[in-house]
């Protein structure tokens, strides 16, 4: 009896210290170049699951409610493991983490290819994601620290991150512009290339009108194949204006599409709420409006929204576009607006 009591006490304290004994290691100092995602990753915490919790508990220590400050100390969220003891041997007390459903998609790159299931909130929904330009057309361009940067690379990275978020919530996703070599990238300067293709592996034409028509044809053909299902199109671009013009994320939709308007409005409402939460001293001036003159807005069949992320030539907007943490936040916020739209349909 005494031996059983000792075993119970041993297992209880082993469990306690494995789960809660990391309190003394729960603070870290941000180093130069650290972002929230990279910091959480370095300390064994899934950044996609604990990003917002990290922000909530470190709000007073973040610049613009989103950025780490070098030399500051931050609290790492406590990861609560769902565990069961393995009773082979007391000396090798082991823990088995509850398995989470996952799938792998090579297009996200080696470090990001595993998509963990978060929910089935988008089950039955189909999304077509089109990132602007690509192939022979880099889109809007600028120079950052002496290096050329282009719209297509950043729109594509945000689109991949959005695709991963939507898949994690049970949606079916078609990535229309594709680069099998890039994947989701964590660098600020994304190297330019011209090897993007259109779904599934079509060469992107040199002529602008042909490029746009190719995307329209691909989306409309898929729309017909999936007739009867809930289908939406999201197009992502980066704008180019004068260097002094700082803009917020804004959205377009077809003037006659109530579903498209609602999708754009749902994402817009989400961005307004996020700005109130994380940047309460800054007004969000992004808009949603009809812009049927845009080729993809006018010609594609699914209800859709066309998103402009920012001005690639403006220094403030460049921080939004170049910082990988910001690109992830943009994708996350868009996905939350998409979920809002789907659940309120």
Q: Which of 277, 284, 258, 281 is nearest to 341 (CA)?
A: 258
List of E strands, the chain: 27-29, 73-75, 85-86, 94-95, 102-104, 114-116, 125-131, 141-144, 147-150, 172-175, 177-178, 197-198, 202-203, 230-239, 250-253, 288-290, 303-311
Residues 243 and 289 sit within 8 Å (Cβ to Cβ)? no
pLDDT per residue as tens digits for the range 167-183: 999 999 999 999 999 99
Residues 219 and 300 sit within 8 Å (Cβ to Cβ)? yes
Strand partners, 95: 85
Domains in the chain: ranges and CATH = 2-95 (no CATH), 102-343 (3.40.630.40)
pLDDT per residue as tens digits for the range 10-33: 443 344 334 344 444 478 999 887
In 3-state terms, what secondary structure has residue 130? strand
Task: Label residue 98 by pLDDT band (50, 70, 90).
Answer: very low
**pLDDT at residue 64, as a whole number:** 64
Q: Which of 293, 232, 235, 236 is nearest to 258 (CA)?
A: 232
d(CA 134, CA 127): 20
* H or E, element range at 135: none
Helices (H) and strands (E) in the chain, counts: 9, 17
pTM above 0.95?
no
């Amino acid at each position: 009896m005494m031996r059983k009591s000792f075993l119970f006490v041993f297992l209880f304290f082993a469990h306690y210290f494995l789960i809660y004994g990391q309190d003394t290691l729960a603070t870290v100092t941000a180093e130069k170049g650290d972002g929230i995602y990279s910091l959480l990753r370095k300390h064994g915490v899934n950044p996609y699951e604990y990003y917002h919790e990290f922000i909530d508990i470190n709000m007073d220590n973040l610049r613009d409610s989103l950025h780490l400050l070098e030399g500051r100390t931050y609290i790492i969220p406590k990861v609560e493991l769902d565990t069961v003891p393995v009773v082979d041997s007391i000396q090798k007390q082991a823990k088995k983490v509850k398995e989470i459903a996952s799938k792998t998609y090579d297009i996200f790159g080696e470090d990001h290819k595993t998509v963990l299931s978060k929910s089935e909130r988008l089950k039955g929904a189909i999304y077509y994601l089109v990132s602007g330009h690509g192939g022979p057309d880099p889109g809007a361009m600028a120079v950052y620290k002496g290096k050329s940067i282009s719209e297509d690379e950043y729109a594509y990275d945000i689109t991949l991150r959005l695709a991963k978020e939507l898949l994690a919530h049970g949606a079916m996703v078609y990535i229309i512009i594709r680069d099998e070599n890039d994947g989701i990238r964590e660098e600020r300067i994304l190297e330019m290339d011209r090897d993007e293709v259109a779904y599934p592996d079509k060469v992107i034409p040199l002529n602008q009108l042909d490029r746009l028509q190719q995307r329209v044809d691909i989306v409309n053909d898929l729309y017909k194949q999936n007739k009867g299902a809930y289908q939406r199109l999201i197009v992502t671009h980066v704008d180019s204006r004068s260097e002094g013009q700082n803009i917020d994320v804004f959205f377009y939709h077809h003037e006659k599409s109530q579903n498209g308007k609602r999708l754009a409005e749902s994402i817009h409402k989400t961005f307004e709420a996020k700005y109130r939460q994380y940047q309460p001293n800054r007004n969000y001036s992004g808009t949603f409006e009809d812009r049927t003159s845009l080729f993809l807005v006018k010609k594609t069949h699914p209800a859709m929204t066309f998103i402009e992320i920012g001005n690639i030539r403006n220094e403030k907007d460049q921080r939004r576009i170049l910082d990988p943490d910001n690109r992830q936040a943009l994708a996350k916020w868009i996905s939350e607006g998409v979920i809002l739209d789907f659940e309120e349909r």
